[in-house]
Amino acid sequence: MNSVKSVNEWCVYGGAMILALAMMGGPSVGYAQQSLAIRASLATGGLPVDDPNAAAWDTATPASFPMSPQVHWPDRIQEVTVQDVIVRALHDGTQIAFLLEYEDPTEDPDDAAALEFMVGDKKAHFAHGQPMMLVEGGPVNIWFWKNKEGKAVNMTAKGFGTIKPLPHQDVNAKGAYSNGKWRIVFARPLATDHPDEDVQVPLGDFINVAFAVWDGRTDATGQLIEKGSQKAVSSWWYFRADPPPDYSAYLYAGIAVVVALGFQFVLIRKLKEGQ
């Protein structure tokens, strides 16, 4: 009987270990660049493409990125209002939406923000894809929003002074200002018919993204302080749109447990029969 008990305990323990190992390799595993990336998780209750204050954004993991004055283009600025942006992202398998959140003391008509992406396989500099040392250059895809316009503009650039709107406009944006803080949603299909100009978002891939913000305040003469290249910018970071959950690990774990229990049953019978 002691041998039967030992075999029984071993089988149960082995089955539990198989299940645990399978679970560790399943959907709960994180990704290598998680600390540097925005995670666009799969939305289950509808994508908030036009609502910066939707409750769904509370389910998205926030990531904070530092901002600094743009210093690569001759029209520079020494200080900027926005020091960092908090970014969240969601997708529904068809569209992706980003939420930018940052502090701004006043709401101004010329307040603006933008997302920038590399296009294709060429490495581009975050400064509008400008060719620089060790970086071949562009193109880049830019999603731009300005408060007084109230909508997004889908743009392309390949170097300083080359930015221009694209013929196709498939990006939407909406901003909401409250209590000294902007929340701006950008949304677009994951894939478009213009892969040479638009960033494409395959599920599960890491994709470069950068941010730009303009505080539309004016000086004593009524001139804009932040405009054009005089803005707050970030370097390249990453985002990743999560693929649908893969439950195959649970299936394999279930099969492993069934096999272990079957082995236990047969072995116990043989032991009881003296074999």
pLDDT by residue for the chain (275 residues), tens only, comes to: 555 444 444 444 444 443 343 333 333 333 333 446 899 999 988 999 999 999 999 999 999 999 999 998 888 889 999 999 999 999 999 999 999 999 999 999 999 999 999 998 888 889 888 888 767 777 999 999 999 999 999 999 999 889 999 999 999 999 999 999 999 999 999 999 999 999 999 999 999 999 999 999 999 999 999 999 999 999 999 999 999 875 444 434 455 554 455 556 555 666 666 76
Which helix (DSSP H) or strand (DSSP E) does residue 252 occupy?
Answer: helix 248-272
Through-space distance between the first and last CA atoms of the chain, rounded to whole angstroms: 13
The answer to whether the beta carbons of residues 110 and 227 sit under 8 Å apart is: yes
d(C-alpha 106, C-alpha 236), whole Å: 28
Residue 169 shares a structural domain with residue 41: yes
Residue 98 shares a structural domain with residue 153: yes
- Domain with 260, as residue range(s), is 2-24+248-272
In a domain, 212, yes or no: yes
Q: Which amino acid is at 79?
A: E
Which pLDDT value is given to residue 120? 86
Q: Domains in the chain: how many in total? A: 2
Residue 107 shares a structural domain with residue 18: no
Which pLDDT value is given to residue 28? 34
Residue 85 shares a structural domain with residue 182: yes
Which pLDDT value is given to residue 110? 98
Token look-up 């170097």 returns 159
Question: How would DSSP label each residue in 135-165?
Answer: B----EEEEEEETTTTEEEEEEESSTT--EE
Residue 104 shares a structural domain with residue 221: yes
d(C-alpha 39, C-alpha 50), whole Å: 20
In a domain, 29, yes or no: no
Which pLDDT value is given to residue 257? 52
Query: Looking at the DSSP assignment, which residues form a beta bridge with residue 91?
Result: 42, 96
Query: If phi over 0 gives left and psi between -120 and 50 gives alpha, with beta otherwise, what is residue 137?
Result: left
Tell whether pTM > 0.85. no
Tally the residues of the chain. Answer: 275
Phi and psi for 6 in degrees, rounded to 5?
Answer: -65, -45
Phi and psi for 10 in degrees, rounded to 5?
Answer: -65, -40
Residue 18 shares a structural domain with residue 68: no
Q: What are the tokens at 207?
A: 């994709």
Which pLDDT value is given to residue 268? 66
**Residues 70, 72, 73, 75: what is their CA dihedral angle, to the nearest 10 degrees?**
50
Residue 87 shares a structural domain with residue 219: yes
- Of 161, 164, 153, 166, nearest to 130 by C-alpha is 161
Residue 136 shares a structural domain with residue 160: yes
d(C-alpha 187, C-alpha 217), whole Å: 26
d(C-alpha 26, C-alpha 20), whole Å: 10
